[in-house]
Amino acid sequence: MKKVLLASLLAFWACQVPAQTESFTQRFYETYDSYHEPSLGKRRIKHNDLQPLIDAVAARPGFEVHTVGASLQGRPLRLISAGQGETDIFLWSQMHGDEPTATQAIFDILNFLASDDFAEEKQQLLSQVRIHFLPMLNPDGAEVFQRRNTLGIDINRDALRLQSSEGQTLKRVRDSLNAEFGFNLHDQSRYYNAMRTPKPATISYLAPAYNYEKEVNEVRGNAMRVIGYMNRILQQYAPGQVGRYNDDFEPRAFGDNIQKWGTSLILIESGGYPEDLEKQEIRKLNYVSILSAIYAIGSGSYRELPLEDYYTIPENDRMLFDLKIEGVSYPLLGTEFVMDFGIFHHEVEREGYREFWNSSRIGDMGDLSTYYGYETLDARGHTLKVGQVYPEVLPDIQAVAKLDFWALLDKGITYVRVAQFPKGLKASPYPVNLVSATYKGPASKWDVGDNPTFVLWKDGKPSYAVINGFLLDVANRRGAVHNGMLIK
């Protein structure tokens, strides 16, 4: 009799879901700050940063923590589990060491689950599902903020040979859980956009194919339905900024094989968001969409969504630059050409792999009318000119610090010569490029791959300057440079 009553209650709950679940999941975004894990505030996190947090979770009632393997260098891989339900959900993150956004979101989710808030709703959820988190699958890669593991391989291409200890652990855990749903959590380049729009693909989803024909069976179809639900939630907070990842079958990949092995696999890629270099807003969107998905799975509401919702998500494209300059007049060999420039702010790791500096590059030039930029300048009416060199050779960078940089830029000066640089200096800490005492000056011609430093003149004076790919509004004295270049 009790079983019949419980089944009736669950059936009633499931039929109420679409509206109730969506209404409830909206509160995840509104209350996020209460569960945000403050110790993980930047992208470059390491294995040691997570262990005290996992230890704290292990001490909480209702959670279990087990060591399920180790990385090649011996760092333990720990699985965190919660819930008593029959539906197992397995989430793993950072199989690529430099893709940590969802790792941070996992600890926000754990804080939510451990809190006293929404006790009735969580009790109901955890009676239906059992959730398993493996928050950092590639800790050796995370240690040096690189994609691959110590062996030098991409773990996500090791599903067949299983050469890596990390891949072996992932396969073993998947098989032991035989989870109904899996979440493969990644970061993608910030230069992806939702196709034919200027909006970044802030979050991209994929229900990976399990064969070359890209057939859709019940397992893959369930993943598609959950993705359709997550997209509906995220459109409230990042409208037009959700993409669909390419679903070409990759026979070596874990996602494709896990789908084939019977777990409905959902891949989430965290891309870019304006003015969110450390991806903290994207982390919040991960938290919202993953929790929403877990609730949709627990309630069964995802089953009511049509597969077509998945296909309405625009495909990923890769047509974004950090900075796009449009229509500038570019003089060369006695002729004025109309030119667009697309610029990337490439990151270079500093010692210790906690911080970075930028070495920007021209990614493309010419007619870039089909491309977009996080920042775009309409430079029609401006002429591109080479930056000038400050006439004096300064003794050290302390002397450079005393300069009025806006006054230099007003004169078109973008390079300062320095007699002696401090040991270990990798980049200029100022909004000018620092060069050696013998530096004569840059060439007045630019090519793809060159560092973008130049001045845009209008009406006989500098209007804008680009220093190491960062745009400064000289006329209005606005803008900032993460770092200039150091040229010895």
Q: What is the mean pLDDT of the chain?
A: 94
> What pLDDT score does 19 carry?
58
Instruction: Give the residue-averaged pLDDT of 147-169.
Output: 98
Confidence check: pLDDT of 12 > 60: no
Q: Domain locations in the chain? A: 2-317, 320-487
Confidence check: pLDDT of 174 > 60: yes
Confidence check: pLDDT of 472 > 80: yes
Closest CA to 296 of 1, 21, 11, 5: 21
At the second CATH level, the architecture of 2-317 is 3-Layer(aba) Sandwich (3.40)
Confidence check: pLDDT of 457 > 70: yes
Categorize the per-residue pLDDT at 21 as very low, low, confident or very high, splitting at 50, 70 and 90: low
> What pLDDT score does 14 carry?
41
pLDDT tens for each residue of 372-385: 999 999 999 999 99
> What pLDDT score does 24 carry?
72
Instruction: Say if pTM beats, i.e. exceeds, 0.75.
Output: yes
pLDDT tens for each residue of 114-132: 999 999 999 999 999 999 9
CA distance 481 to 430: 8
Instruction: Give the residue-averaged pLDDT of 218-234.
Output: 97
